Amino acid sequence: MTASVAEIHYFIGDTLSGRSSGVPARTAAAGSGELLVSQRPKWLEAARTRLQTFTHLPQNWDSYGSQPLSWATARHAAQLLSQLGGFGLPAPRLVPTAQGGVQFEWDVGGIQLELELEPGGGMLAVFDDIHQGESWDRELPPRDLAPISEALSRVVSAGRQVLDV
């Protein structure tokens, strides 16, 4: 599937504005790490802009033959960004992957979480809590952040503690 840059921009912008994604004002994640957050974080706009730049990457941008972010993956990534934006998380670092996905990275207060969105919509998560000595990696079904809600909750807490120092 192909789409013009203008179409991609329109879609990402529209998705992140919440008009097409239906992002709720309050987002809940099931499990012990339930999160309820009511407003969009300030980093969302910058993250959106960075995500857009990944669709502009040249062919072979990493010198190993990788392609720019596809329209379909940009759409998934924008939706995931909207989901994540509702959790009260500190700003993630976004990087493109060689397979045409996007990786979201947090490293705050001894909590490290990497969440990779694959081109097909699947997700991979790698988590480390240095304080509790907890480490795991797991595969997630598309659009389902519930299996990592506890991890997201710890990133939120660590982010708040850093801000309080």
Which residue ranges make up the site for another protein (CB under 8 A)? 57, 61-67, 93, 95-100, 103, 105, 107, 114, 116, 118, 124-126, 137-139
Tokens 């992002």 — which residue?
23
The CA distance from 102 to 160, in Å, is 25
Output 107 or 144, the one with its CB closest to another protein: 107
Residue 88 Cβ, how far from another protein at the closest point, in Å? 20
The CA distance from 68 to 52, in Å, is 10
Output 25 or 162, the one with its CB closest to another protein: 162
Output 85 or 96, the one with its CB closest to another protein: 96
Q: For the chain, how many residues are written?
A: 165
Residue 102 Cβ, how far from another protein at the closest point, in Å? 9
Residue 53 Cβ, how far from another protein at the closest point, in Å? 9
DSSP string, 79-100: HHHHHHHTTTPPPPEEEE-TTS
Output 22 or 65, the one with its CB closest to another protein: 65
Phi-psi region of 4 (alpha: psi -120 to 50; beta: other; left: phi over 0): beta
Residue 22 Cβ, how far from another protein at the closest point, in Å? 29
The CA distance from 153 to 146, in Å, is 11
Residue 70 Cβ, how far from another protein at the closest point, in Å? 11
Retrieve residue 33's tokens. 């790490």
Q: What are phi and psi of 120, to 5 degrees?
A: -80, -5
Output 95 or 146, the one with its CB closest to another protein: 95
